[in-house]
Amino acid sequence: MPKKLGVYICTGCTIGEAIDTAQLAKVATRECKAPTCRMHPFLCGPEGCDLIRKDVADGTVNTVVVAACSARAKTDAFTFDPGIVLERVNLREHVAWSQAAREEDTQMLAEDYLRMGVVKAQKSEPSEPLTEEVSRVLLVVGGGAAGITAALEAAAAGYEVVLVEKEPQLGGFAATLRKRFPIEAPYDAPAADGLALKAQEATYHSKIRVLTSARIVKIEGQPGMFDVAVEREGVASTVRVGAIVLATGWKPYDATRLAHLGYGLANVITNVELERMAARGPIVRPSDGRVPDRVLFLQCAGSRDPAHLSYCSAVCCMATLKHATYIHEQNGRAKVYIVYKDMRTPGLNERFYRAAQDHPLNFLTKGELASIAELPSKDLLVTLRDTMVGGEVSLEADLVVLATGMVPNSADGEAIRALKEAEAKAVRGETESQRAEAARRQDELRSHKGTEILHLAYRQGPDLPVLRHGFPESHFICFPYETRRTGIYAAGAVRSPMDTEHAERDALGAALKAIQAVELAAHGQAVHPRAGDLSFPSFLLQRCTQCKRCTEECPFGSLDEDEKGTPKPNPHRCRRCGICMGACPERIISFKNYSVDMVASMIKAIEVPEEDEEKPRIVVFMCENDAYPALDVAGFRRLRYHPSVRVIPLRCLGSLNIVWIADALSRGVDGVMLIGCKEGDDYECHFIRGSQLAKRRVENVKETLQRLRLEPERLHTAELSINEWDKLPAMIDEFAGRVCAMGANPYKGM
């Protein structure tokens, strides 16, 4: 389809005062040869929008360049038919509001941005959605509180559900409780558990197929078309589902590793052991079966301890307060000591905590265990330090309960892989010592055998990648439930330590995300953070060298491989971040509206003044999720920064292809700056590893620069949080200052 370009320049919001828009229009019509170019003082108003719509409707224009405000503003006004290519040029936030009015540099900036916008629009094609037949059935893995709730909620929304549970009955851990935490006003007493009723409801629900005593053998495919192989009592079957909710819950932290807290002594038990005892009958001392008169609870047993679980397990404080009520119920004269680091009972749970404080026979103190010793009577002498009572105190107890924490039932991924590797090596190891070492490792990891859950047939491995603490989250703050496998959403204690009530609420959220994933896949759209994006990467496989960088670097494991290592795309798993495009050394991966060539052409569209004009040029590649909006905010606040910058937004800094750096420097651009999200354990990147990958690529390119006798300092990477807009102008100015001090790029004008 021939390109019919239309450039629409808004002169409102002080753009007209800051920039000579008539001159800008000349750039559009003469230089860029736009057949249609119109100006309007209020382009986003009804009259302005009609101007564009009319040209589009009568076929005069099919490629629209709106030179007005940021692409993040007025999206409702500037939305056209999907068949129309739309490009936004940010004259407001990035020019008029951040540069001196009517200056030569300001005008040059505006004109460059227009050139860059036009060339991108010229090279873009409208995206055609990839729609295929999808399954709208949801798979829920795990039949505990979260799983049952997810199934019921999805069914209530009209979706069919397959619920897979490994045990012979539904209920999970929550069903084994004597009582659950308070759920009704005044929230001061444990409540009866209503899970059995919900389990029954799920079992007999017409839209829910419950498969108990079942396990997943294999999952392959992508959102909308996952093929799940299930084995049940030796019988294998396959079901096609659209999305998956992972609600596999948790297991208690291994108390045998808590010998330093007394575990192993006759009358030292864990909170889970106490709960099991309480569900059956009275709570007694294991040594003599006597109902205890003095029970001491030790909080954070293994939790918030870098040597064990470094996180807070969220439920142990409440569990202990609940267990104290069990103790008082069975023995009105029993004393309960609770030794804590901090009591954490958020929200309405505070009322339960207060009720516990008010009990005359509950004794609570902050403190650390100094020692625990068994007396001849099998009573325990517990010595505490740093208590509120002051100094060291000792207490005698008949029973000590360790409030152990939660470990997600997902954390084994790494260990399972290590175990498999060891197993293979133990058989096929090259040397005797290698085989012995593998056998030792195999023994060490034995407890992980057979704990795989999803068995994903993905190139990047069978499990969900996990964060630092073993939780399969991918972006805790912005995208709860989100895992690094598109279409698979985590809910409940597998996602983060939480109690039954939170797990139930979590399940609702995850079920809705799963439904979204199915519906978006049905429409060929991306899930968040680029929700609704119709573009998807295409691979020019004739030129693929099977280097596997794309399949390895994709943060979502969306690409599989054939036996030769050629990527096999799964478009519905793709989040459209473009990291594969940045990774590809052959530049064979591109989107219809985002490609290596497009950005390279934008760089070429920048007019680079001669050295004697003393006008440096700096290209800034900016993450469009965090850094770009931060620069918009700097514009809202009218913060000034150096006029030499030419900002190019990237879908993710990880989509940066190093050829662009070479392109820029060889054109005489004096400096290149990369601004992405924070990386590391607490990363903020929407695509997990974007900044990290970009930084690695840039390190490689710096060596090349040295060979070309170019200062590596001309290339600078920075991290920015979305709320650090106030720091951004200084960051830019500082780099511009350093570039000016270095002098002009020697390749200028070559």
Partner 1 sequence: MATALKIEPDVTFIEHVMKSGGGELKKCYQCATCSTVCSLSMDDAPFPRGQILKAQWGMKEQVLSDPAIWLCHNCGDCNVNCPRGARPGDIIGALRQAAIEQFAVPRFMGALAGSLRGLAVLLLLPVLLFLAVALWAPKPAAPGRLEFAAVFPIGVLEPLFFAVCGLAALAFASSMARFVRALRVSGATGPILPGLIPALREIAAHSRFSKCGRGGSRRLGHLLVFWGFLGLALVGTAVGVATMGGWLSTPLALTNPLKVFANVCAAVILAGCITLLVWRATDPDAANTYFDWLFLLTLTGVALTGSGSELLRLAGAAGAMYAVYFVHLVLVFALLLYAPYSKFAHLVSRTVAMAATARKS
- Least distance (Å) from partner 1 to the CB of residue 392? 4
| Cβ proximity to partner 1, 8 vs 297, nearer residue | 297
Nearest by Cα to 588 from 549, 624, 556 = 549
The tokens describing 322, both together, are: 């609940």
- Least distance (Å) from partner 1 to the CB of residue 260? 18
Confirm if 496 and 466 have CB atoms less than 8 A apart: no
- Least distance (Å) from partner 1 to the CB of residue 353? 9
| Cβ proximity to partner 1, 259 vs 389, nearer residue | 389
Confirm if 199 and 186 have CB atoms less than 8 A apart: no
Report DSSP letters for 629-677, one per residue: HHHHHHHHTT----TTEEEEEES-GGG--THHHHHHHHTT--EEEEEE-
Phi, psi of 547 (to 5 degrees): -80, -15
What's the CA gap between 412 and 410, in Å, rounded? 6
| Cβ proximity to partner 1, 134 vs 324, nearer residue | 324
Helices (H) and strands (E) in the chain, counts: 19, 30
| Cβ proximity to partner 1, 212 vs 383, nearer residue | 383
- Least distance (Å) from partner 1 to the CB of residue 344? 14
Between CA 735 and CA 741, with CA 739 as vertex, the angle to 5 degrees is 115
| Cβ proximity to partner 1, 42 vs 363, nearer residue | 363
| Cβ proximity to partner 1, 29 vs 365, nearer residue | 365
| Cβ proximity to partner 1, 37 vs 334, nearer residue | 334
What's the CA gap between 164 and 216, in Å, rounded? 8
- Least distance (Å) from partner 1 to the CB of residue 730? 42
What's the CA gap between 513 and 509, in Å, rounded? 6
Sign of CA dihedral 506, 507, 510, 512: negative
HSE (side-chain half, CA atoms, 13 Å) at 252: 22
| Cβ proximity to partner 1, 75 vs 371, nearer residue | 371
* Contact residues for 495 (Cβ-Cβ < 8 A; gap 6+): 408, 471, 472, 473, 480, 481, 506, 510
What's the CA gap between 532 and 194, in Å, rounded? 39
Confirm if 426 and 435 have CB atoms less than 8 A apart: yes
- Least distance (Å) from partner 1 to the CB of residue 329? 17
- Least distance (Å) from partner 1 to the CB of residue 294? 9
- Least distance (Å) from partner 1 to the CB of residue 304? 21
| Cβ proximity to partner 1, 390 vs 450, nearer residue | 390
- Least distance (Å) from partner 1 to the CB of residue 379? 12
- Least distance (Å) from partner 1 to the CB of residue 458? 51
What amino acid is encoded at 49 in this protein? C
The tokens 């511009």 sit on which residue?
736
Report DSSP letters for 366-415, one per residue: E-EEEEEEE-TTS-EEEEEES-TTSS-EEEEESEEEEEE-EEETTTTHHH
- Least distance (Å) from partner 1 to the CB of residue 401? 18
- Least distance (Å) from partner 1 to the CB of residue 364? 9
What amino acid is encoded at 331 in this protein? N
| Cβ proximity to partner 1, 382 vs 705, nearer residue | 382
Chain residues in the site for partner 1 (CB under 8 A): 333, 335, 354, 357-363, 365, 370, 383-384, 388-396
| Cβ proximity to partner 1, 131 vs 357, nearer residue | 357
| Cβ proximity to partner 1, 294 vs 513, nearer residue | 294
| Cβ proximity to partner 1, 370 vs 740, nearer residue | 370
| Per-residue b or e along 201-234, where b marks 16 or more CB atoms closer than 10 Å to that residue's CB | ebbebebbbbbbebbbebbebbbbbbebbbeeee
SS (H, E, C) 212-265: CCEEEEEEEEECCEEEEEEEECCEEEEEEECEEEECCCEEECCHHHCHHHCECE
What's the CA gap between 73 and 62, in Å, rounded? 22
Confirm if 704 and 711 have CB atoms less than 8 A apart: no
- Least distance (Å) from partner 1 to the CB of residue 386? 12
- Least distance (Å) from partner 1 to the CB of residue 269? 22
First to last CA, the chain: 36
Sign of CA dihedral 679, 681, 687, 690: positive
What's the CA gap between 558 and 162, in Å, rounded? 24
Confirm if 225 and 242 have CB atoms less than 8 A apart: yes
* Contact residues for 26 (Cβ-Cβ < 8 A; gap 6+): none
What's the CA gap between 456 and 485, in Å, rounded? 10
- Least distance (Å) from partner 1 to the CB of residue 303? 22
| Cβ proximity to partner 1, 84 vs 361, nearer residue | 361
| Cβ proximity to partner 1, 353 vs 481, nearer residue | 353
- Least distance (Å) from partner 1 to the CB of residue 271? 23
| Cβ proximity to partner 1, 333 vs 564, nearer residue | 333
- Least distance (Å) from partner 1 to the CB of residue 180? 25
What's the CA gap between 497 and 130, in Å, rounded? 38
- Least distance (Å) from partner 1 to the CB of residue 369? 12
| Cβ proximity to partner 1, 175 vs 397, nearer residue | 397
Residue 228 C-alpha from the chain's centroid: 24
Q: Tell whether omega for the bond before 182 is within 30 degrees of 0, i.e. cis.
A: no
| Cβ proximity to partner 1, 209 vs 359, nearer residue | 359
HSE (side-chain half, CA atoms, 13 Å) at 369: 25
Between CA 267 and CA 330, with CA 250 as vertex, the angle to 5 degrees is 40
